[in-house]
Structure 1
Amino acid sequence: MKKSVFLWLLVLMISQGLFAQEKKYLVFEFIRVDPNRVFDYLEYKDFLAKVYERALQNGAITGWDLWSLQSGTEGEPFQYATITYYNDPVKMMNGNDLDQLVQNAKEAFPDMSETEIASRFRDAIDNQDLAVRNYMVEVARTDDSYNYRPGTLASFDLMKAVEGKFDEYEKAEREVFLPIHEKKIKAGLMENWRFLRTAVPTGSEAKSTHMTMNVYSNYVQFFNSMEYEDMDATESQLMEVEKGLKSRDQKWVYLATLESMVR
Structure 2
Amino acid sequence: MKKYVFLLVGIMLWAFSAKAQKDQYMVLEFVKVESDQLFDYIEFKDLMEKVYRQALNDNQITGWDFWALQSGASHSDFQYIMITYYDDPVKMMDGLDETKMIEYTKIAYPHLNDAQVVKLFENSLSMREMPMRLYMREIVKTEDDFHMRPGVLASFDLMKAKEGNFAAYEKAEEEVFKPIHQKRIEQGLMGHWSLLRTALPLGTEAKSTHLTLNMYKDYMQFFNAQAYEDLDQTEADRRAVNEGLNSREQKWVYLATLENVVR
2:258 matched to 1:258?
Answer: yes
Look up the equivalent residue of 1:206 and give its one-letter code. Answer: A
| Deviation sequence 1:130-186 (CA, Å, 0-9, x none) | 111111100110000011110000000000110110000000000000000001011
How far off its partner does 1:125 sit? 1.0
2:49 corresponds to which residue?
A: 49
Identity %: 51
CA contact (8 A) 1:29 1:132 kept: yes
d(CA) in 1 for partners of 2:122, 2:75: 26
Q: Secondary structure at the match of 1:70?
A: strand
- How many matched pairs? 250
Could you say what secondary structure the match of 1:199 adopts?
strand
Question: Residues 42-99 of structure 1: CA distance to partner in whole angstroms, max 9, x if unpaired?
Answer: 1111111111010000000111111000122358632111111111111111123111
The residue number in structure 2 matching 1:227 is 227
Answer yes or no: is the 8 Å Cα contact 2:134–2:201 preserved in 1: no
1-structure distance, mates of 2:148, 2:67:
12
Q: CA-to-partner distance for each residue in 1:95-129, whole Å, 9 max, x for gaps? A: 23111111111221222122211111111111111
TM-score after normalising by structure 2: 0.90
Structure 1: gaps (5+ residues): 1-13
Question: Counterparts of 1:20 and 1:91 in 2: how far apart (Å)?
Answer: 19
CA drift of 1:249 comes to: 0.4
Shift of 1:228: 2.0
Alpha-carbon shift at residue 18 of structure 1 (Å):
3.5
Counterparts of residues 5-24 of structure 1 (less than 5 Å): 18=18, 22-24=22-24
Report Cα offsets for 1:181-208 as digits up to 9, x if no partner: 0010111100100110012351111111
Aligned partner of 1:126 in structure 2 is: 126
**TM-score (norm. length: structure 1):** 0.90
Whole-angstrom distance in 1 between the partners of 2:173 and 2:116? 47
Q: Give the whole-Å Cα distance in 2 for the aligned partners of 1:194 and 1:163.
A: 22
Relative to 1, partners in 2 of residues 1:163 and 1:74: Cα closer, same or farther, differing over 3 Å? Answer: farther
Give the match for residue 171 of structure 1: 171
Distance in 1 of aligned mates of 2:131 and 2:240: 36
Partner of 1:193: 193
Aligned to 1:9: none
State how far apart, in whole Å, the 1-side matches of 2:178 and 2:60 are. Answer: 30
> Quick one: distance in 2 between partners of 1:256 and 1:75?
12
Alignment check: 8 A CA contact 1:162 1:248 kept: yes
**Contact kept? 2:25, 2:88, Cα under 8 Å:** yes
Task: Give the aligned CA root-mean-square deviation in angstroms.
Answer: 2.0
Q: Which residue of 2 aligns with 1:72?
A: 72
Query: Is the Cα contact below 8 Å between 1:21 and 1:87 reproduced in 2?
Result: no
Whole-Å separation in 1 of the counterparts to 2:75 and 2:218: 28
1:20, distance to aligned residue in structure 2 (A): 9.9
Q: Distance in 1 between matches of 2:170 and 2:118?
A: 43
Mapped to 2, the partners of 1:89 and 1:97 lie a distance apart of 16
Corresponding residue for residue 140 of structure 1: 140
How far apart in 2 are the matches of 1:36 and 1:116?
23
* Structure 2: gaps (5+ residues): 1-13
**Deviation at residue 24 of structure 1 after TM alignment:** 0.5
1:226 to 1:21, Cα distance in 2 relative to 1, 3 A: closer
- Runs (4+) of structure 1 exceeding 2 A deviation are 17-21, 72-77
Q: Hey, what's the Cα distance between the residues in 2 that align with 1:115 and 1:252? A: 42
The aligned counterpart of 2:152 is: 152
